[in-house]
Structure 1
Amino acid sequence: MTRTGSILLSALAGASALLLMATSPATANPNAINPIPVLNGTTGLPNLAGRSRAIFQMTGMASPNNTQTYNVLGTDLGIMWDNGHGEMLTAFGDTAGFGLPNLLAGSAWAWRSNILLRSHTQDPAGGIFFDSVVRDVFGQARDLIPSPKIPFLEISRIPTAGISADGVQYMSLMSVRNWDDVGQWSTNFSGLAVSGDNGETWADLPETRRPNEGADANFQMNSFLKNGGYIYEYGTPSGRNKAAYVARVRESDIANLSRYEYWDGDRWRMNDVNAAVPIMGGVGELSVMYNDYLGQFISLTTDPFNSVVLRRAPSPAGPWSAPEVLIDTRELPTAYAPSIYPYQTGRDLYFLTTVHSQYNVVLMRTTL
C-alpha cells in the first residue's frame, strides 16, 4: 500500500471508529460501521460452539477473496442464486470502501448500495471463491442500480432476492427511505431490476414496484424460490420480526405483477395481494430453498431474539414448522440475513451470514 493509502486508511478507520455506535446487527444506521480487522475489535472467524460452524470469510480484508482489491472493505447480505448456466451470482448490499465519504448518509466511507460478484465454486467445503466482479472504470465494485443516498428521499437501494428466469437475471430491491429504530427501517417501495448480460448491466423495472402501502407493504423484502414452473416470492414488511407472506407467478411472467397469485391459507388468488395471509411470523431477512436431503422446503431467517433459525415445510406455502436454532444469539449476537447456498450439498447445509461487528459476510456450515 502506498503512503497515501496508509494515511487514508488510518483516517477512515479513525472516523469509522467514532461512528461505531453499537454491535447490534440492526443499528438504526448501517453506515455506522468499521470494517477494518482488529481496529473493529474482531480477529478471525467467529468461534461458534453450537450446531453451526463459521468456515470461511467471504468478504473484507481478512478474506482469501481479497475483496479490498476492488474496494470492498465491508459489506452485508450476500444473496446467492444460480444464473441458469451453473455460475453463481452473489449480490451484496450496503458496501464500504475508500473514496469520498458519504457524510450525508452518515458514513465516513465511500458507500455503494448494491454490488455483484460471480463464482464457479461447486463445493463450498473449502470456501467460496469469486471469479469476477461488476466493476466501474476504475476497477472498483460499482452500484448496479444507482441510489441518491439522501435521507428521507432514498438512502439506499438494497437487493433482497435474486433469480434467473428464462435465462435472464432478476433482482428484487427495496428502496430505503430512512433508517429508524433498531431493527426497523422505512421503505418507499420494492421492485425488480433485470439484466440480460449475466449481471453486468441492470435496468430498473418501475412497473414492478410495490409501494410501501396497503397489502403491497407485505412484500418490501423478498426471497425467491423456483419450483414446478413457478417462481415463489416470499415477502415481509420492511424491518425485522415481521410476518412472511407468499405469492407465485409463472417464470415467464415474473415482471408482470397482474399475473401473481397470492396464498390465502387455502388456495391461490390471482392478482389479489390483499388475499395473502401470514405463513410464518417473527421473520427478518428470509431465504428459501428445496432441500434434497430432507425432502422438504427449508427457510432461514433470524428470529425475534436474533438467533439464526431454520424452518421446514412439505410445500412452498407450508405449513412451516417451528423454528430450529442454527446459531444462537448468545454465540453471535451480531449475525443477520442468512442466505442459503443455491446448490445441493447433502447433509451439510451451507449459508452466508453477515456479522455486523466486523461488517462482512461469513460462510457457515451446519449438519442437518
Structure 2
Amino acid sequence: MVSAPSAGAQECMGGSGSSAGSVMTGSVAGGPNPIPWLNGSDGRLPELRGKTTAVSHITGPRSPNDTLGRFSVLGTDLGIMWDNGSGEVLTAFGDTVGLSPNPLCGLVGDWRSNILLRSADGILSDGMNIDNSPQDRPGHSKEIIPSLKQAGIEKTVIPTTGISVGSGPGATQYINYMSVRDWGHPGEWETNASGIAVSNDNGENWRVDPLTTRPNIPGTGNENFQMGSYVKHDGFVYAFGTPSGRNGDARLSRVPEGDITNLSKYEYWNGDKWVAHDPRAAKPVIPGPVSELSVQYNDYLGKFIAMYTDAGNSIVMRTSDHLEGGWGEPQVLVSSREVPEVYGAYMHPWSQGQDLYFLATTWSDYNVMLLRTTL
C-alpha cells in the first residue's frame, strides 16, 4: 500500500495557476540546473574565438541585473526581443524558475511558464540593463501567458516571437506562443497549437486571442507554423513559421500590420507568389533544421539576417536581399565545439551597424547571455 504524499510533497508536484508548480519543470525537466556550481560549472561567460564574443549575463546568479533578487528569476531561457514602439525593448523568456518556497522541494522551484523583462538600454557594448518587469507581487516576475501545467494536456506555454504595431503609448504588443503538450527527446516536443497573445499596456497584462489559434494538425499547413519569427516590412508583418521541435524547414507568411490577429488575411509564399488563406501553400524558404529562428534587417549589410541553431547545435546566420528567398549559405557565429550546450539566438532589435548583438542560452547554467558578433 502506497501512502498519500504529504502536503509539502503535493505542493512540489505542481498544478495549475501562475506559479503553482514549485519544482523545476517544463523545458528544463530532468535537465540543467540554473545554479552552475551544482553542475560542476563556474558559471562564467564562455571564452569564444573568432568574430563573436560573450558580453554579459542577462539573467541568473552571475548577472549584473540581479534578476534573482529583483524578480525571483534564478534561471530562464530564450530571450525573444522586440521594439515596443515607445523607446523600450521587451524581452519574453521561456520556462523560468526561482528559489523553492518549500524546503521539501529542494533548492530550485517557483516555476513560471514565461516572463517578460523590459529595457531601455541602447548601449550594449557593456551589457543590457534590465529596468523592470510585470510582477504579481513585489520582487516576483509574473507568468504573463498562463498554462495548465498538466503533462499530456498542456505542459507549458512558450513565447516564440514578438512584435509591436503602432507607436508611442498606444502601441499594441503581440506575442506568438506555442502550447506544448509534452516534451520528448532532446530537440523534440509536441505542441497542441500556436496562437497570439495581445497586450495594450506595454506587456503588463496579456490576453490570448482564441481566433488566432493554429492547431497542430498534420495536413492543414498550420503544423508548419507552430513557432515563428516576426519582421515588419513595407506595411506587412512577415511571419516565418517552423514546426514544433528543432528539425523543420522555415516557411513564410505575411499579413497587413493592422490585421495581425486575423488569420483569414494571411498570405503564404509558395516559392513563386503569395497565396491567400491557405497555409498548405507555404513552401520552405530556409531549409531545415531551423531551430528558434530570429530574422531582422541589418543596415550595415543592407540585407535581412536570419539567425538560428542548426543541426550541429551551432548558432548560424544567413543573409538575403529578400525575405522570400535567396538566403545565402550559413555562417557559424558560435560553434557547438566551443559551447556544446548553446541554443536559441535572438537578435536585439536596436542592433544595427557592424556590431550585431543577440541573446543565447546555455544548458550548463540555464540562463541567458548577450553576445556580439562583428559583421
Contact 1:230 / 1:248 at 8 angstroms: preserved in 2?
Answer: yes
Q: Any stretches of 5+ residues in structure 2 without a counterpart?
A: 1-11, 13-22
Q: CA separation in 2, counterparts of 1:41 and 1:57?
A: 18
* Number of the residue aligned with 1:16: none
- 2:351 aligned with 1:329, yes or no? no
Taking structure 1 as the reference length, what is the TM-score of the superposition? 0.90
Deviations 1:214-248 (A, max 9, x none): 31000001110011100010100000021000100
User: In 2, are the aligned partners of 1:50 and 1:328 still within 8 Å (CA)?
Assistant: no
Instruction: Give the corresponding residue for 2:18.
Output: none
* 2:178 counterpart SS class: strand
- Establish whether residue 227 from structure 1 lines up as the match of residue 225 from structure 2: no
Q: Which residue of structure 1 lines up, in the alignment, with residue 199 of structure 2?
A: 195
The one-letter code of the counterpart of 2:191 is T
Q: How far 1:42 sits from its partner (Å)? A: 2.3
2: distance between equivalents of 1:137 and 1:306? 38
| Residues 28 and 184 in structure 1, CA contact (< 8 A), matched pair in contact too | no
1:136 is matched with 136
Task: Say yes or no: does 1:339 pair with 2:346.
Answer: yes
- Of 282, 292, 298, the match for 1:276: 282
State the match for 1:35 in structure 2: 34
CA distance in 2, matches of 1:365, 1:108: 30
1:154 paired residue number: 154
Aligned partner letter, 2:346:
S
- The aligned residue for residue 6 of structure 1 is none
Partner SS, residue 249 of structure 2: strand
Do 1:80 and 1:90's aligned partners in 2 also have CA atoms closer than 8 Å? yes
Q: What do residues 162-213 of structure 1 show as CA deviations (whole Å, max 9, x unaligned)? A: 0001210000110000001111000000000000000000001111010101
Aligned to 2:20: none
Check conservation: 1:28, 1:185, Cα contact below 8 A.
Answer: no
Report the Cα offset of residue 272 of structure 1: 1.2
Provide the C-alpha distance between the structure 2 equivalents of 1:86 and 1:315, rounded to a whole number of angstroms. Answer: 27
Q: Could you tell me which residue of structure 2 aligns to residue 4 of structure 1?
A: none
Corresponding position of 1:15: none
Name the structure 1 match of 2:126. Answer: 126
Which stretches in structure 1 are left out of the alignment for 5+ residues? 1-11, 13-18, 21-26
Supply the AA of the counterpart residue of 1:225: V
Q: Which residue in the other structure is 1:237 paired with?
A: 243
- Do structure 1's residue 207 and structure 2's residue 211 form an aligned pair? yes
Deviation per CA, 1:306-350: give whole Å up to 9, x if none.
Answer: 010000111111221111100111001111110001013310111
Question: Given residue 67 of structure 1, which amino acid in structure 2 is its aligned partner?
Answer: T
SS in 1 for 2:28: coil
For 1:343-362, what aligned pairs fall within 5 Å after superposition? 343-362=350-369
Cα contact 1:96–1:111 (8 A) shared by 2: yes
1:298 pairs with 2:297: no
Equivalent AA in structure 1 for residue 312 of structure 2: F
- 3-state SS in 2 of match to 1:210: strand
Letter aligned with residue 315 of structure 2: V
Using the alignment, how far apart are the partners of 1:304 and 1:243 within structure 2? 11
In the alignment, is the contact (CA less than 8 A) between 2:351 and 2:357 conserved in 1? no
Given that 1:28 and 1:183 are in contact with CA atoms closer than 8 Å, whether structure 2 keeps it comes out as: no
Quick check: 42-51 or 85-94, which moved more? 42-51
Stretch deviating more after TM superposition (163-172 or 39-48): 39-48
Task: Tell me, in whole angstroms, the C-alpha distance in 2 between the residues paired with 1:29 and 1:341.
Answer: 23
Deviations 1:33-86 (A, max 9, x none): 211132222221111123311110000011000000111000000000000012
Report the CA distance shift for 1:79/1:28 in structure 2 as closer, same or farther (over 3 A): closer
1:100: how far off?
Answer: 5.0
| 1:60-209 equivalence runs, <5 A | 60-69=60-69, 70-99=71-100, 109-166=109-166, 167-209=171-213
**Residue 138 of structure 1, CA deviation:** 4.1
C-alpha RMSD of matched pairs (Å): 2.1
Task: Give the letter aligned to residue 206 of structure 1.
Answer: P
CA deviations 1:238-264 (Å, max 9, x no partner) are 000210001000000000000000000
Q: What is the Cα deviation at residue 108 of structure 1? A: 5.3
- More moved, 312-321 vs 151-160: 312-321
SS at match of 1:285: strand
Quote the residue 2:267 is aligned against: 261
Match of 1:311 among 298, 314, 318: 318
Aligned counterparts of 2:292 and 2:342: Cα–Cα separation in 1? 11
Partner of 2:370: 363
**TM-score, normalised with respect to structure 2:** 0.88
